[in-house]
Amino acid sequence: MKRFPLFIALVLLAFSAVTTSAVAQSKPGASDVTTSDPKLDSLTKLSQKYLNDNQPDSLYALMAESFKAQISADKMKEVSSQLVGQLGKWTAIEPKGVQDGVGKYKATFALAALDFFIGLDKQGKIETFLFKPITE
């Protein structure tokens, strides 16, 4: 398995600052688990497109106010650029399931794969947008 440079770890932490409690506090057997959600699948594909096409402003426009309160548009540009610069293009998406309204996907980049989590607020805007090293 490839080791991530410290720089990538910092990039991942920048996105992890907006993780909701649904990811951090989920309990096996006590939550709503499904295999997929068409809205989350669509927003994941759109996120992939915007990252690959270097359109962080378009990606940022999809974010909830709770996300924007923690990550500025400039920070989003910086982190997006660093992520693609370090890992290459985001080449594939594999759904892993939805738990407590947060979708988990395997995000395969040219140089490595990561777990990707995405969740929406009540208005349908992205409030959880997180890349983490893969865990089984």
Choices 3.30.70, 2.60.120, 3.40.220, 3.10.450: CATH for 6-20+36-133: 3.10.450
Per domain, the residue ranges of the chain are 6-20+36-133
Digit-coded pLDDT (tens) for 59-108: 999 999 999 999 999 999 999 999 999 999 999 999 999 999 999 999 99
d(Cα 127, Cα 136) in Å, to the nearest integer? 24
> Residue 21 pLDDT more than 50?
no
> What are the beta bridge partners of residue 128?
119
pTM of the model: 0.80
Report the percentage of the chain scoring pLDDT > 90.
Answer: 72
> Exposed, middle or buried, 67 (CB in 10 Å: 0-12/13-18/19+)?
buried
d(Cα 47, Cα 50) in Å, to the nearest integer? 5
Mean per-residue pLDDT of the chain = 84
Average pLDDT over residues 41-45: 97
Residue 31 binned pLDDT confidence (cut-offs 50, 70, 90): low
Radius of gyration of the chain (CA): 14
Question: Quick check: 47 and 117 in contact, CB under 8 A?
Answer: no
* Six-digit token string for 49: 């497109």
